[in-house]
Structure 1
Amino acid sequence: MHDPGPAFRALHRKGDPFILCNAWDLGSAKVLAALGAQALATSSSAYAFTRGAPDGDLTRDDALAHAEEIVKATPLPVSGDFENGFGEAPETVAETIRLGAEVGLAGLSIEDTALPGDGAYDFDLAVERIRAAVAAARALPRDFVLVARADGILRGSYGIDEAIRRLKAFEAAGADCLYAPMPESFADLERICTEVAAPVNALIAGPFASYTRADFARIGVARLSLGGSLARVTHRALIDAAEEMLEEGSFSLLKNSVSGAKVDGMLR
């Protein structure tokens, strides 16, 4: 099997962030690749939209099947959004790593949220889960980039100090990339980049979409992921056009559509 890991790992350079483009189906994956994306990722929320389900309602088998489809869509390396590893036990997380590698992923991310709730796993358990994930990744016959996520700021279960405490522990456990989605400020994101040595991923959503790649490079970010942001942009267009049609009987927003020929060319 082709090993996408080394090329994917090489993209992670502090202060020179690449854009990790989150795709949600074959078409979006192929279009992003045609437009010059260097790597793709899945998004649990964006994929759930395509299944008519809210984020968090899909199973590990769902995520694996979707990831394999995205992997096969283009030659680009793909990282998997695998939520909390689909189980609490460290052994379950380790198995998720092995299964993700089997479908061809170049890496995947594991968060510390005790799903289906919003609370975080106890610190010691959160670290043990990442330690088990790292051990599973290192035992693979090929390279694999493991991202450890501290999601407590996003979920409202802890603040920046605890997020950094966890990220440092995840780094010590061997995680390749660190990620605390949606810190309260750009200054907090800079603090994260300063206080850890491993590459840091930043989520481009909400107020962080107001900054440029150069801004993120200046503070030392290594990777810029989109999560469900790009998928939500398409839903914004869908909702706006449908509301205009169904509520006003007008179709002016359809004039903004891209030509079918252009999309066909990218899909070829």
Structure 2
Amino acid sequence: MDGDRRQQFVDLHREGCFLLPNAWDAGSARVLESAGFPAIATTSAGIAFSLGRPDHDFFADHGPQARLDRTTMLDRVREIVAAVDVPVSADLEEGFGTSPEDVAATISMAVAAGAAGGNIEDFTGSRARPLHDQALAVERIRAARAAVSSSGEPFVLVGRTDALIVGGTLTDAVDRANAYLAAGADCAFVPGAADPATIGTLVRELTGPLNVVMGLTGGTLSLAALRDLGVRRVTVGGSIARAMYHHLRRAARELAEHGTFTYADTQLSQSDLNDLFRRP
């Protein structure tokens, strides 16, 4: 990705509010780009599902070997970057390792893959200790910032705390998000914040821009409402991918159980898709 596209992505975070939808492969990225979004993100969940694997979650629930490795994930990021002409931000999960050095290496690889930004989360995958100790989490963000600085490329580093979705308090989320911003994150991401009161508190108390994720709980807040609350960036996580798999499973069940084909009534035409995916 050229420096101009990376800088465009940095500039999107300076003011206002924008929607950053999440793609999982080159085709979904092209569809999102065609709708006119100024940038797109990847979804680690969608990428995992597209390869028949579970998302990064509590490891004991599905076995550590089921998780996608860093190389596979970043290969898909590289494919998505190459498929579109807009900036791409990479979902880098917890950095594919515990140590600050692991995180720094992941950020360097993401920059090399062409990403214009990326998030590092504090989720561990362990039910006994779902979040990294805050001191270590801060060092991980600091190492990520150092890797960005060493690259010399514009890059939006997002510090994500999963405090709310593992049962922590809003105070915990604010403390962690502000610590990550102070350590060098350009934007804070707090999944689990989906109501006006929680989001409003985060906007007031955070020392930097806020990213929220919609589409996970069926929330009714619109982009306009989120803009009015002061949110800077809105993502949708794996929700578009999950919606696509819902339609796939419904089609499969109709075929297997009824032998009918009504699922095809809402398909895109062959010519529409050929036109969309044909590169000039």
For the superposition of Structure 1 and Structure 2, which TM-score range results when normalised by the shorter chain?
over 0.9
Q: How far apart in 2 are the matches of 1:44 and 1:255? A: 30
When residues 116 and 267 of structure 1 are mapped into structure 2, their CA distance, relative to the original with a 3 A threshold, is: farther
**Cross-structure match for 1:161:** 171
Once the two structures are TM-superposed, the CA of residue 152 in structure 1 deviates from its matched residue by 2.1
Question: Which sections of structure 1, spanning at least 5 residues, go unmatched?
Answer: none
- Find the counterpart in structure 2 of residue 119 from structure 1: 130
Whether contact under 8 Å (2:195, 2:221) holds in the other structure is no
Residues 1-268 of structure 1 mapped to structure 2, 5 A cutoff: 2-3=2-3, 4-14=5-15, 16-56=16-56, 57-115=67-125, 117=127, 119-154=130-165, 156-183=166-193, 185-207=195-217, 209-268=219-278
SS of residue paired to 1:167: helix
Q: How big is the shift at 1:137?
A: 1.2
RMSD across aligned positions (CA)? 1.5
Over residues 135-190 of structure 1, what are the superposed CA-to-partner deviations in whole Å (9 max), with x where a residue is unaligned?
Answer: 21122221111000001212x14221101100111111121010010126331112
Deviations 1:182-213 (A, max 9, x none): 12633111211111131111101234642111
Deviations 1:116-144 (A, max 9, x none): 55700011111111111112112222111
Q: Contact 1:17 / 1:222 at 8 angstroms: preserved in 2?
A: yes
The alignment of Structure 1 onto Structure 2 pairs a total of residues equal to 266
CA distance in 1: counterparts of 2:74 and 2:266, whole angstroms: 35
Task: Report the 3-state secondary structure (helix = DSSP H, G, I; strand = E; otherwise coil) of the residue aligned with 1:206.
Answer: coil
Query: By how many angstroms is 1:249 displaced?
Result: 2.2
Letter of the 1:24 partner, please give it. W
Query: SS state of the match for residue 21, structure 2?
Result: strand
Distance 2:237 2:116 in 1: 17
Please state how far the C-alpha of 1:64 moved relative to its aligned partner: 1.1
Contact 1:18 1:224 in 2 (8 A): yes
Q: Distance in 1 between matches of 2:118 and 2:208?
A: 16
TM-score (norm 2): 0.90
1:59 shift after superposition: 0.7
Report the 3-state secondary structure (helix = DSSP H, G, I; strand = E; otherwise coil) of the residue aligned with 1:266: helix
Identity of aligned residues (%): 39
Most deviating of 234-243 and 93-102:
234-243
Q: For 1:184 and 1:141, how far apart are their aligned partners in 2?
A: 35
CA distance in 2, matches of 1:200, 1:149: 10
Q: Give the TM-score taking structure 1 as reference length.
A: 0.94
* Aligned partners of 2:194 and 2:214 also within 8 Å: no
- The residue aligned with 2:63 is none
User: Shift of the alpha carbon at 1:30?
Assistant: 1.1
39-48 or 240-249: which moved more? 240-249
State which drifts further: 224-233 or 200-209: 200-209
Separation in 1, partners of 2:209, 2:25: 27
How far the C-alpha of 1:253 sits from its partner, in A, is: 2.3
SS in 2 for 1:210: coil
- Listed as ranges, the gaps of 5+ residues in structure 2 are 57-66
Q: Residues 194 and 212 of structure 2 are in contact (CA less than 8 Å); yes or no, is this contact kept in structure 1?
A: no
Query: Is the 1:113–1:121 Cα contact (8 Å) retained in structure 2?
Result: yes
Contact in 2 for aligned 1:17/1:221 (Cα 8 Å): yes
8 A contact 1:84–1:115 mirrored in 2: no
CA contact (8 A) 1:110 1:148 kept: yes
